[in-house]
Amino acid sequence: MVRQIIEIDSEKCNGCGACAAACHEGAIAMWDGKAVLLRDDYCDGLGNCLPACPTGAITFVEREAAPYDEAAVLAKKAAALRGTAPVTRSACAGSAVQALRPAETAPTAAEAGPVSYLAQWPVQLKLVPVEASFFSGARLLIAADCAAYARSDFHRRFMAGRVTVIGCPKLDEGDYTEKLAEIIRRNDIREVTVVRMEVPCCSGIQRAAETALRQSGKFIPWQVVTLGRDGNIIE
């Protein structure tokens, strides 16, 4: 079948491995210092690897290719976990952009480990791309770094069913306004919730979100929730 698929220019590839880390299907591997597409049916054609590439070595092409085979990808991942298949990703795991679960889907009681409602990765505002599939139709949570530590039920109360981005206007360099405006402008964001602490420095993240909403030119329902240092919601 003819479909959209990635193409890697080996001349432009600098071997950094960022694309392999960004591809959560494991379609890209590093071979002899260069990125290579392992198999056509491992590539879903969505291109999470494109923004990760610092040299522009990856592009989309339309060509004859095997259809994306999700079952083969899942089997490969399972084999890697069992230690019966090589793990082909490299570079820093923090550079991978991926959806961890559908934003509207809560984890079940059968899932191992503590309950988490994190819907995607990364979450830090400096690292989140301005366009990503997990933003499509998303309810966006913009949270101050400290807020999650103030309430033990932060995941269930605020993150469930939302895509989360976090930041600290006091510690992070620069301003979030422009990036937030681009995220809202370029994606189908359904609503915005800002969760901040009562401390003065947190006013920066609220101000950035409010300004970004105005600059985006969109009319989106939004709210601000302020937490006290004891975790209580301040009306």
Instruction: Please tell me the pTM assigned to this model.
Output: 0.58
The count of other CB atoms within 10 Å of the CB of residue 116 is 14
How much is the average pLDDT of 98-116? 58
Q: Which residue has the higher pLDDT, 92 or 148?
A: 148
- pLDDT attached to residue 9: 92
The CA distance from 104 to 119, in Å, is: 8
In angstroms, the CA 108 to CA 150 distance is: 25
Could you tell me if 18 and 53 are in contact, meaning their C-beta atoms sit under 8 angstroms apart? Answer: yes
Fold of 2-92: Alpha-Beta Plaits (3.30.70)
Query: How do the domains of the chain map onto residue ranges?
Result: 2-92, 98-234
Q: 166-223 pLDDT, tens per residue?
A: 999 888 877 899 999 999 999 999 999 999 999 988 999 999 999 999 999 999 999 9
Would you state the structure tokens that stand for residue 26, as one six-digit string? 């494991």
pLDDT at 89: 40
**Residue pair 99/37 in contact by the 8 Å Cβ criterion:** no
Measured between alpha carbons, how far is 13 from 29 in angstroms, rounded to an integer? 12
Whether residue 117 has pLDDT greater than 90: no
H-run or E-run covering 226: strand 222-227
pLDDT for position 86: 45
- Bridge partners (DSSP) of residue 4 are 62
Q: Which stretch, 25-29, 132-136, 210-214, has highest mean pLDDT?
A: 210-214
Domain spanning 98-234, CATH class: alpha beta
In this predicted structure, what is the pLDDT of residue 162? Answer: 93
**CA–CA distance, 173 with 158 (Å, rounded to integer):** 26
Higher pLDDT, 125 or 91: 125
